[in-house]
Structure 1
């Protein structure tokens, strides 16, 4: 079982990463609908607002409690997140609560931070609210995917991207449930974790490749190379034994750090209007944060 402090810390860290990811998924969905599906855009915006509220409440409870390695990882916010939000809001007209990002940038760690019974109760309430919200967003994403696959709906998002963000939502939902059951999500099976995130990284490369302007030949080729490398890592990890998984993890960490650097350069290039693409600045920062998150998980293995 988890100690009360570990329960609180794991819960808050999970939401700081994933609630932001979910609110951005909602925004990307909203931005991708056509005028015919204005009702879907409105529903997506509703989820964005609800996850912003959840994230705001989490941030307000988090000071002093988040571990230094999580704060330093770049998975909560990066140096580029606020600027990406400002640009994305300007491009889409979709409001983004940038105050949350400013608050997150000021979070700090304190080893002496105490956990009260009220805090435990507040976190349990947030976890329960999160489960309901995530379930709703999963249903919404599945509805969008079904509409696309039956050719009853058009959006500018790939069907694979909808499947991709569905898998991330299911993972988030499962992790909230695990914590509520007293499971230490820091100690999840390394092989299964790597299989999940290797596939996410591979698909990021495919999305980047497909959203770059056709004239960006060098970046398209690099994206293709990363997709190929993660495909090989998936095969190696599938075949790994308890005796060999550590060496695969080391290779994966080195590869993901290179990938992180590529994503960071892309985030900067898109922000500075030096890369031709149809990639929203916040999407570039979003996939960078996911790489940062994966790097932290790999370092913990």
Structure 2
């Protein structure tokens, strides 16, 4: 159990600290040059999470679990602070107190990911991870919304002349909205909905759609990096959303294996 705690903690931190670091950069790029204080705050969070990422990568698997417990608490505090920063930025945008190119939905999106990371660190340190039937629904409700958001962002950041890609992104947005509504329905029917056949079908269906979206993101990323399509999507952002889709697919694959083992 101690080894599993260390492995899961470091896996989560290595993945999400990089995500938090990149969020800081994306928010900074969306501020205007007049927003000097916000730019400085974003730079500070970039440094904080870069340091956390480097520390997490430096740990070896045989590290004392008590060290990781303390590290989780440090990371949790930093994530609470960046969550508060993101919510502050969202308020400023919605109240028209700052301009720039950060969509309100994008800022809400990155704050939801910070809240997810905070909750996961707390679960790991308290030993209260969700049972498999609850985890299947909770993770899907969260990540399906994230994937639907990504499709909307890609749609709006592609040049309008990229008609085929815009149409594909719009179709993915619709498809993942429908999958999310279906997941919310399954959630509201708990615990009666948490039967083996229903959860099997739920995971299988979502895996197919997430794999297709991941492949679309990979193609878009490669085209953007090669300067073969017109967009205002930074290559790092294209890779960022690709990595998140790959992460969700890994979670779904783990659920599929766990559900098969429990039969």
Distance between the aligned counterparts of 1:233 and 1:285, measured in 2? Answer: 23
Residue 91 (structure 1) aligns with: none
Task: Kindly state the Cα deviation for residue 236 of structure 1 after the two structures are TM-superposed.
Answer: 2.2
From 69, 77, 87, give the equivalent of 1:132.
77
Q: 1:254-293, aligned counterparts within 5 Å?
A: 254-293=208-247
From 46, 53, 72, give the equivalent of 1:48.
46
Distance between the aligned counterparts of 2:31 and 2:183, measured in 1? Answer: 37
Q: Per-residue displacement from partner, 1:231-274 (whole Å, max 9, x unpaired)? A: 12122222332231220210110111111110000110010001
Moved more, 181-190 or 7-16: 181-190
Q: Per-residue displacement from partner, 1:12-31 (whole Å, max 9, x unpaired)? A: 00001100100000010111
From 121, 140, 150, give the equivalent of 1:204.
150
Distance between the aligned counterparts of 1:125 and 1:234, measured in 2? Answer: 35
Residue 69 (structure 1) aligns with: none
From 116, 121, 124, give the equivalent of 1:179.
124
Residue 15 (structure 2) aligns with: 17
**1:250 correspondence with 2:196:** no
Task: Kindly state the Cα deviation for residue 185 of structure 1 after the two structures are TM-superposed.
Answer: 6.0
What SS does the aligned partner of 1:189 have?
helix
Distance between the aligned counterparts of 2:199 and 2:66, measured in 1? Answer: 38
**1:230 correspondence with 2:184:** no
Unaligned residue ranges in structure 1 (runs of 5+): 66-114
The question of whether the paired residues in 2 share the 8 Å contact of 1:237 and 1:245 is answered with no
Q: Per-residue displacement from partner, 1:199-221 (whole Å, max 9, x unpaired)? A: 10001000000000010100000
The question of whether the paired residues in 2 share the 8 Å contact of 1:199 and 1:230 is answered with yes
What SS does the aligned partner of 2:38 have?
helix
RMSD over equivalenced CA pairs, Å: 1.3
**1:192 correspondence with 2:138:** yes
Q: 1:33-44, aligned counterparts within 5 Å?
A: 33-44=31-42
From 10, 24, 27, give the equivalent of 1:26.
24
Residue 142 (structure 1) aligns with: 87
Distance between the aligned counterparts of 1:56 and 1:287, measured in 2? Answer: 21
Task: Kindly state the Cα deviation for residue 124 of structure 1 after the two structures are TM-superposed.
Answer: 1.9
Task: Kindly state the Cα deviation for residue 156 of structure 1 after the two structures are TM-superposed.
Answer: 0.8
- Structure with more contact order per residue of length (Cα contacts < 8 Å, sep ≥ 6): 1
Distance between the aligned counterparts of 2:216 and 2:72, measured in 1? Answer: 34
Structure 1 residues 185 and 41, CA gap change in structure 2 (3 angstroms): farther
Unaligned residue ranges in structure 2 (runs of 5+): 187-192, 256-263
Residue 156 (structure 1) aligns with: 101
